[in-house]
């Protein structure tokens, strides 16, 4: 145990008597006293100031009696999750004979068990490697080998999948809840968790905040569209910086009720939806997966109590597309449409989209349905969330754009010289680093002024440095990112600083082509697959996809560059049509020609029934090319 004596005393005091601020709140209909421990908060903030990191599980001690999570099985307080993780951490410690800094792979459903497993891994000072049951055994073996996992953890339902794999690989498997049953019942808010007062309820577990400030937390594997998936190493400090940046930019609060339906082996679901919400003391409502009609029913919250009604949703564009398709089927009569619009418009605080391009027609359709403008942002496994449209004013959220750097992010556009390959900076846009100290006032959790200087928590305007004056003021090239939340290494790979992933002066090369114009960034696509070089022009597949999705017959679209002896590459489209619709290439060209230049128009078209997409709902261009590439070649005249 490496907590300072003072911190231990503070914990013990927290458990014995209410300290500092007392707020009133209602959980499952009962008014409860909320005890916010100012002394503990001061210790945390002092540690953060000294370079430490307070992991999300430890923040739970600031608001133990609040409801943290609601899933299909039950409702859990922060104290309940903490307690369950603490019990599990003892089992992990026993398996690893107290070792820390090891990697532990874990497979859980999208529910409380995921949080409990992750917190338990962190409490023992080990590195969490989330696995998904969506991956076949061969992929799982790859992750276990590549991550050098010392232990595999799972809930009972995944034992069937993992037992043969771990036996074959001679890795220990710990099945959660076998000896200490982790049932919802046990961790539901009951009187003992609502009023944690016995010493053995919440004991101080984990390493010191100073230790967490210097150590690794999480490995997130990239989707591996061009090579084998690489493990991005996330430190506790990176997570803390990202959480502070998101809290400041998107104004998370303890009053948020966040609907979580994203896969948890990806940074979007881990960070935006889960960790940032739990770090704010919010209520997380976890569904096992995204099922459109279930999501609609949670968004509308019919028959639910006020404190459980959803106010925040983070989704990928494919999710919004499915919600729109269901809306058209179920809610199109004017009375229901009005009800949906009023309900969403009055209750939802924030609806975010990202991880893939948000087509213009989807942005506009969602605004029509809900009266809300989706907030589109850009992120990557390697950098977390990097660019975002503004939270306020809402009108400034623009279609097809990803806004400006989030707090602590520097973004640069470079062009590559054809002769020397050298990268020339064109424009750099930098936002000051976020305040990482915890401010309960900002989270809506207190009334006492610990931090009078609330201005330092604001998302500040960036500084823009133009390295070149361009006549049209449009900067176009590769996007580079730098900042305290950018990763510094892939797991099990040689140190990458100074290698091809980073420039010599430490900028991460995203591999995306972007533009900076009118004070905002726009993503044009992955340079290797989405930038099509055709007849001397460069065409962004993303822009063509967005334009052709406007066609009333098209339900889904992917645009590829297909090799061609005359043009170098040609623009080709694969589309899924709406029910009973028909479409010829000529008709598509005529309609899209109103939005696109002639050289951007598809020269070949293929209609299919289903579009290959990955677990995150992203177009899987590798598979699309493999499956349809030959049929998209331009016929010889």
Contact residue for ligand AMP among 262, 402, 427, 443 (CB under 6 A): 402
Instruction: State how far the Cα of 295 lies from the Cα of 1, in Å rounded to an integer.
Output: 42
Q: Whose CA is closest to 487, among 110, 234, 174?
A: 234
The residue (of 200 and 227) whose beta carbon lies closer to ligand AMP is 227
From the CB of 554, what's the least distance to ligand AMP, in Å? 19
The residue range among 78-86, 108-116, 300-308, 349-357 that interacts with ligand AMP, by the rule CB under 6 A, is 349-357
Contact residue for ligand AMP among 124, 251, 355, 600 (CB under 6 A): 355
From the CB of 379, what's the least distance to ligand AMP, in Å? 6
Site for ligand AMP in 182-241 (CB under 6 A): 222-223
From the CB of 354, what's the least distance to ligand AMP, in Å? 4
The residue (of 214 and 398) whose beta carbon lies closer to ligand AMP is 398
The residue (of 119 and 475) whose beta carbon lies closer to ligand AMP is 475
What are the backbone dihedrals phi and psi of residue 475, each rounded to the nearest 5 degrees, phi first? -100, 130
- The number of residues that bind ligand AMP (CB under 6 A) is 16
The residue (of 354 and 407) whose beta carbon lies closer to ligand AMP is 354
**Strands, E, within 94-208: which ranges?**
103-107, 127-130, 151-154, 173-175
Q: In the numeric block, which tokens belong to residue 555? A: 């339900």
The residue (of 440 and 541) whose beta carbon lies closer to ligand AMP is 541
From the CB of 223, what's the least distance to ligand AMP, in Å? 5
The residue (of 277 and 513) whose beta carbon lies closer to ligand AMP is 513
From the CB of 543, what's the least distance to ligand AMP, in Å? 11
The residue (of 203 and 223) whose beta carbon lies closer to ligand AMP is 223
Contact residue for ligand AMP among 354, 403, 405, 602 (CB under 6 A): 354
Q: Whose CA is closest to 524, among 546, 540, 545?
A: 540
What are the backbone dihedrals phi and psi of residue 606, each rounded to the nearest 5 degrees, phi first? -135, 135
Q: Whose CA is closest to 202, among 349, 58, 18, 309?
A: 58
The residue (of 89 and 110) whose beta carbon lies closer to ligand AMP is 110
CB of 69 closer than 8 Å to CB of 260? no
Torsion of CA 554, 558, 561, 565, to 10 degrees: -40
Q: In the numeric block, which tokens belong to residue 21? A: 């601020």
DSSP 91: H
Q: Whose CA is closest to 578, among 556, 610, 555, 557?
A: 555
Site for ligand AMP in 358-397 (CB under 6 A): 376, 378-381
Site for ligand AMP in 525-544 (CB under 6 A): 526
Instruction: State how far the Cα of 557 lies from the Cα of 563, in Å rounded to an integer.
Output: 19
Return the residue nearest ligand AMP (CB atom): 381
From the CB of 355, what's the least distance to ligand AMP, in Å? 5
Site for ligand AMP in 503-522 (CB under 6 A): 510, 512
393: preceding bond cis by omega (within 30 degrees)? yes
Contact residue for ligand AMP among 151, 356, 571, 583 (CB under 6 A): 356
Letter string b/e over residues 269-288, b meaning 16 or more CB atoms within 10 A of that residue's CB? bbbbbbbbbbbbbbbbbbbe
Instruction: State how far the Cα of 277 lies from the Cα of 566, in Å rounded to an integer.
Output: 53
The residue range among 66-74, 130-138, 352-360, 586-594 that interacts with ligand AMP, by the rule CB under 6 A, is 352-360
Instruction: State how far the Cα of 175 lies from the Cα of 501, in Å rounded to an integer.
Output: 38
For residue 70, the SS3 value is: strand
The residue (of 34 and 545) whose beta carbon lies closer to ligand AMP is 545
From the CB of 383, what's the least distance to ligand AMP, in Å? 9
CB of 229 closer than 8 Å to CB of 43? no
Residues that bind ligand AMP (CB under 6 A): 222-223, 354-357, 376, 378-381, 402, 510, 512, 523, 526
């Amino acid at each position: 145990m490496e907590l300072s004596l003072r911190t231990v005393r503070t914990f013990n005091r927290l458990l014995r008597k209410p300290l500092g601020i007392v707020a009133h709140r209602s959980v499952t209909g009962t008014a409860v006293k909320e005890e916010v421990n100012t002394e503990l908060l001061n210790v945390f903030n002092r540690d953060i100031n000294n370079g430490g990191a307070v992991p999300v599980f430890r923040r739970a001690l600031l608001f133990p009696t609040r409801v943290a999570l609601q899933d299909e099985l039950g409702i859990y307080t922060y104290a309940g999750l903490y307690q369950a993780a603490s019990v599990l951490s003892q089992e992990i410690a026993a398996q690893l004979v107290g070792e820390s800094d090891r990697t532990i792979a874990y497979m859980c459903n999208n529910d409380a068990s995921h949080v409990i497993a992750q917190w338990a891994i962190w409490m023992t000072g080990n590195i969490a490697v989330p696995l998904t049951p969506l991956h076949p055994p061969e992929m799982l073996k790859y992750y276990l080998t590549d991550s050098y996992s010392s232990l595999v953890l799972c809930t009972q339902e995944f034992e069937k999948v993992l037992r043969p794999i771990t036996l074959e690989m001679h890795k220990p498997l710990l099945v959660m809840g076998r000896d200490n049953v982790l049932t919802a019942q046990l961790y539901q808010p009951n009187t003992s968790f609502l009023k944690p007062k016995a010493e053995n309820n919440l004991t101080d577990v984990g390493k010191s905040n100073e230790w967490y400030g210097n150590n690794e937390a999480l490995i997130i594997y990239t989707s591996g569209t061009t090579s084998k998936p690489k493990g991005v190493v996330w430190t506790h400090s990176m997570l803390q910086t990202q959480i502070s940046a998101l809290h400041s930019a998107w104004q998370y609060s303890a009053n948020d009720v966040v609907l979580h339906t994203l896969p948890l082996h990806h940074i979007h679901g881990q960070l935006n939806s889960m960790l940032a919400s739990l770090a704010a003391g919010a209520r997380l409502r976890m569904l096992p997966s995204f099922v459109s009609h279930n999501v609609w029913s949670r968004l509308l919250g019919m028959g639910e109590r006020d404190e459980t009604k959803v106010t925040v949703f983070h989704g990928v564009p494919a999710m919004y597309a499915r919600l729109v398709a269901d809306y058209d089927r179920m809610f199109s009569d004017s009375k229901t449409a009005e009800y949906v619009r009023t309900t969403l418009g009055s209750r939802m605080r924030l609806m975010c989209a990202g991880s893939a391009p948000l087509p213009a027609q989807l942005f506009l359709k969602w605004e029509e349905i809900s009266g809300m403008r989706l907030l589109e942002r850009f992120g990557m496994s390697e950098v977390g969330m990097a660019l975002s449209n503004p939270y306020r004013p809402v009108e400034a959220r623009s279609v097809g754009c990803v806004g400006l750097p989030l707090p602590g992010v520097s973004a640069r556009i470079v062009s590559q010289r054809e002769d020397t390959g050298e990268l020339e900076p064109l424009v750099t846009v930098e936002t000051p680093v976020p305040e990482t100290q915890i401010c309960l006032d900002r989270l809506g959790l207190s009334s006492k002024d610990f931090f009078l200087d609330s201005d330092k928590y604001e998302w500040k305007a960036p500084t823009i440095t133009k390295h070149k004056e361009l006549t049209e003021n449009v900067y176009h090239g590769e996007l580079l990112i730098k900042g305290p939340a950018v990763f510094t290494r892939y797991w099990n790979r040689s140190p990458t600083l100074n290698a091809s992933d980073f420039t010599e002066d430490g900028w991460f090369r995203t591999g995306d082509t972007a533009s900076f114009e009118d004070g905002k960034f726009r993503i044009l696509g992955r340079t290797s697959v989405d930038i099509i070089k055709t007849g001397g022009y460069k065409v962004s597949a993303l822009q063509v996809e967005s334009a052709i999705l406007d066609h009333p017959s098209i339900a889904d679209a992917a645009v590829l560059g297909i090799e061609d002896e005359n043009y170098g590459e040609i623009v080709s489209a694969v589309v899924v049509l709406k029910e009973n619709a028909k479409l010829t290439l000529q008709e598509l060209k005529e309609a899209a020609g109103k939005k696109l230049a002639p050289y951007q128009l598809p020269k070949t078209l293929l209609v299919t029934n289903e579009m290959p997409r990955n677990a995150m709902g992203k177009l899987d261009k590798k598979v699309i090319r493999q499956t349809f590439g030959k049929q998209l070649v331009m016929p010889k005249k």
